[in-house]
Amino acid sequence: MSHFIKIYNENPNPKEIDRVVETLKKGGLIIYPTDTVYGLGCDITNTKALEKIARIKGVKLEKANFSFICNDLSHLSDYVKQIDTPTYKILKRALPGPYTFVLPGSNSLPKVFKKKKTVGIRVPDNTIARTIVATLGNPIVSTSIHDEDDVLEYTTDPELIFEKWQNLVDIVIDGGYGDNQASTVIDLTSDEPVVIREGKGSLDIL
């Protein structure tokens, strides 16, 4: 049975955060707030959970373009090849914020992502998401939850999200209304930044 948990972004309750982290450690799936749309996530180190998310999204795990949600830039060296100073400066300016940065993946990626040459890194400006990752001790793998509705691409009401997803995930976190605009995606793998998708994040950081 899925749980619907209210957590406040200004002051996340450590007890509730621990409950979410325990679920992630056991291979559970969560839906949680970010600074853009709500995300579907799991522990990056749990292959079974990763496979579950890929199944829900209808994609092959090794081909899936999931984002890695980090608490700050300290996990970068675990998953990303050495980055140069200009790239680091862009990351520093933009994060935490509504951006996904595509960076060259390193050899120490989890086994299922070994063939991937690039990874999408997110450090959302959302205390709930970052506290979960910090408490877990490693990133969570995440994907946005899309809506089938033609008008609404993303559901923003946590209660409606719970109604729709309760049979697929273990926890839905109510962190207030979400945004209906996804993150700006910027590829930093070549000499010049390439904007793949313009979303909530302003391009002034480039």
Report the C-alpha gap between 138 and 70 in whole angstroms: 7
Q: What is the mean pLDDT of the chain?
A: 93
- pLDDT confidence of 7, banded at 50, 70, 90? very high
Which pLDDT value is given to residue 111?
Answer: 87
Which pLDDT value is given to residue 78?
Answer: 86
pLDDT of residue 149 exceeding 90, the answer is no
Structure tokens at 121: 């890194």
Report the C-alpha gap between 154 and 181 in whole angstroms: 8
Which pLDDT value is given to residue 73?
Answer: 92
At 82-100, the pLDDT tens digits run 999 999 999 999 999 999 9
For residues 43 and 49, the answer to whether their CB atoms sit within 8 Å is yes
Report the C-alpha gap between 123 and 71 in whole angstroms: 6
Structural domains present in the chain: 3-205 (3.90.870.10)
pLDDT of residue 44 exceeding 80, the answer is yes
Structure tokens at 8: 């406040």
The distance of Cα 57 from the centroid of its chain, to the nearest Å, equals 14
Structure tokens at 139: 């990133």
Which helix or strand (DSSP H or E) is residue 92 part of?
Answer: helix 85-94
Handedness of CA 95, 77, 12, 182 (dihedral sign): positive
Which pLDDT value is given to residue 88?
Answer: 95
Average the pLDDT over 40-45 and give the result.
97
Q: What is the pTM of this model?
A: 0.94
- Examine residue 96 and say whether the peptide bond preceding it is cis (omega within 30 degrees of 0): yes
> In the chain, what percentage of residues exceed pLDDT 70?
97
For residues 70 and 122, the answer to whether their CB atoms sit within 8 Å is yes
Which pLDDT value is given to residue 39?
Answer: 95
